[in-house]
Chain A
Amino acid sequence: MIKAELYKLRTHRTPLATAATLLVGVLAPSVVMLWYTPTNTSAYADTWLAVYSILAILLAIVFGGWALGTEYRQDTVKRMLASEPRRGRALATKASAAAASMTAVLAAVAGLGWLAARVVGDMNDVMVAWEGRQVLATVFTALLAGAMTFGLSAITRSDSFAMIGMVGLLLVLDPLLGLIPKIGDYTLGSSLSVVSDKIAGTASGFGEVASLSTSSATLTLVAWLVAFVGGGTVLFASRDI
């Protein structure tokens, strides 16, 4: 079944379009810098990484929601589960194929973005370790967001509801929860920034001192992940189609 999932990813427009958008977005700063030379040479690295970190997460949400949600939208989920009645296995296969493909694309685009910045910019200004950690933090965040959107698509049985739900959670619900004392420390955004900052080796970029330790933040993230992916898995396995 993994072969079928990889075939779907190769032949459908959404995965190809998200990968292409990410690539174009990441290469664009370097293309612009062919004409515009920044005064600060670190801009060569900073700019492509900034675009990469934003686009990767947004596109991971799109891709995560699409991977399963499209089966519901096209009503092909019946065909899929009539062929593979082991629903847990079907879901795991789909998630594995999506995660592996996403990781490969994120890694490849990061490599190309880095290379383009080096070709255009100052080859002496190479910060492989720092940039590598930034990429790693972004890939971690993107995979988490993608996995949660994937779980949400199993819960809502819809790709669009899953994507909108995830964006709504990150941009609306999460900041609102953050306003609540104590509870606000355990929001997705708060715990994610603690863990991703740890991976990236940077301080929190949001101006506030993180109140959660790395281990607490990691556990909080696991709880969020379990709630979305675990909930989605249980519902996917038990609901009538």
Chain B
Amino acid sequence: MTTTITRPEAATRCVVTVENLEKRYSSGAAVDNLSFDVPAGEVVGLLGPNGAGKTTAMKMLLGLVKPSSGTASVLGADVTSPGFVHASRRVGALIEAPALYERLTARQNLILQAHTLNVDASKQRIDNLLDLVDLRDRADDRAGAYSLGMKQRLGIAVAMIGNPELVILDEPANGLDPAGIVEIRNLLRRLPEMGTTVLVSSHQLAEVQQACDRLVVLANGRLVAAGTTDEILALHTSRTYRVRVESADAASAFRCLQAAALQPQTSRAEQLIVDLPDDWSGRDLNRTLVNAGVFAAEITHQNVSLESAFLTMTTNPVTTNPVTTNPTNGEVQ
């Protein structure tokens, strides 16, 4: 499978630039020749099945894991350079599980992180963050008594305490109920409005599809696709149409589509499924039916979900030759 991605329209500054990044252990490569960019002001999703290398890649961006080779630059500083110390002050992170001092209250956790970063720990600042994650009412409860969703939200607030330009969130919706997932999604969408770029990994594909502007898809530590969410989905656009007709017209519809060299399949008595050739559109399909005297009650394009695109990309990534777009200059690489 070869991934082809159309060029982004606008040139953008990148807050993360990863080039040929690798992390090798004795058991093999956790991240293998990974390259991608995170444009400023966007929500970028890092997708991949378990063991794809998402967390390792994120840890390398935070300086928690040393790369075996390749480069990773965050806010203009190489993660292995002394200058990364200053850049890291402008990065917030939530890695694997929310790292909270469970004996401390939410407020104390935030004050502690503010002291760590030597930033404003005033009551107003803390209250604003608690409002952002909707935890103001429980601010003085111990974090250990929180539900998983509340812990995740507090973890995001901790990541946001330093007014970061970039937040790196590893599976922030993991283990949450549907309401919690929606809360996290809404929160992610609000962060760019506050000037914060978001790099988020997730298994909640439907949520990623709604929350992310851009996707980076990994499998077995390797990049299999990168581009905007629409571009990724467009790559896997289905050519399948569902045609619903009156039961009496089903046989006529079937015959006329066969006569047009299509290969319709009957899914139900009044419903046909047909894959169109590349030079056919839904309009052509409708015209063919009308010319045969069949008026369809409904013609539906079977939209592809990110889930099916994800499965297509990650189940057989070995032969993948990814083509990514450079958000800085829009060139196809």
Contacts and interface: CB of A to CB of B under 8 A. Distances in A.
Interface string B217-234: 000000000000000000
Contacts of B66: 240
A4 B88 CA distance: 17
B115 A4 contact: yes
Given A3-B118, A4-B112, A4-B115, A82 B88 contact: yes
A12 B100 CA distance: 13
A11 B101 CA distance: 10
Interface stretch (A45-53, A83-91, A197-205): A83-91
Given A78-B64, A241-B65, A13 B59 contact: no
Interface in B91-115: 91, 93, 95-97, 99-104, 108, 111-113, 115
Nearest to A238: B66
A76 interface: yes
Contact of B84 (A79, A83, A85, A240): A85
B1 interface: no
Contacts of B62: 78, 81-82, 85
A74 interface: yes
A8 B111 contact: no
A60 B285 CA distance: 81
B64 A81 contact: yes
Contact of B116 (A1, A12, A77, A240): A1
Contacts of B93: 78-79, 82
Nearest to B91: A82
A74 B116 contact: no
A76 to B, nearest CB: 5
A141 B217 CA distance: 55
A80 interface: yes
Contact of B99 (A8, A11, A74): A74
Nearest to A93: B116
A75 interface: yes
Given A12-B101, A13-B103, A240-B66, A82 B95 contact: yes
Contacts of A77: 99
B85 interface: yes
A85 B112 contact: no
Interface centre among A11, A13, A81, A83, by most B CB within 10 Å? A83
Name the residue in A1, A4, A8 with the highest tally of chain B Cβ atoms < 10 Å from its Cβ: A4
Nearest to A1: B116
Contact of A8 (B95, B112, B158): B112
| Main SS class of interface, A | helix
Contacts of A12: 101, 103-104
Nearest to A2: B115
Interface string B66-105: 1000000000000000001100110101011101111110
A130 interface: no
A85 B116 CA distance: 12
Q: How large is the interface on B (under 10, 10 to 19, 20 to 34, 35 or more residues)?
A: 20 to 34
Contact of B88 (A13, A78, A83): A83
A85 B63 contact: yes
A76 B65 contact: no
Nearest to B99: A79
Contact of A7 (B89, B99, B115): B115
B113 A79 contact: yes
Interface in A71-124: 74-86
Contacts of A81: 62-64
Nearest to B117: A83
Contact of A78 (B95, B102, B116): B95
Nearest to B116: A4
Contacts of B59: 78, 240-241
Interface string A180-214: 00000000000000000000000000000000000
B14 to A, nearest CB: 20
Given A7-B115, A74-B101, A79 B158 contact: yes
Contacts of A11: 101, 103-104, 108, 112
Contacts of B88: 82-85
A80 B99 CA distance: 9
A144 B85 CA distance: 31
A232 B93 CA distance: 26
Contacts of A76: 99-101
A7 B104 CA distance: 11
A11 B116 CA distance: 15
Nearest to A84: B116
5 contacts: A75-B97, A78-B93, A83-B113, A84-B88, A241-B65
Interface of A: 1, 3-4, 7-8, 11-13, 74-86, 240-241
Given A11-B103, A78-B64, A84-B116, 15 more contacts: A1-B116, A4-B112, A4-B116, A7-B115, A11-B101, A12-B101, A74-B101, A75-B97, A75-B99, A78-B99, A82-B62, A82-B93, A83-B113, A241-B64, A241-B65
Interface of B: 59, 62-66, 84-85, 88-89, 91, 93, 95-97, 99-104, 108, 111-113, 115-118, 158
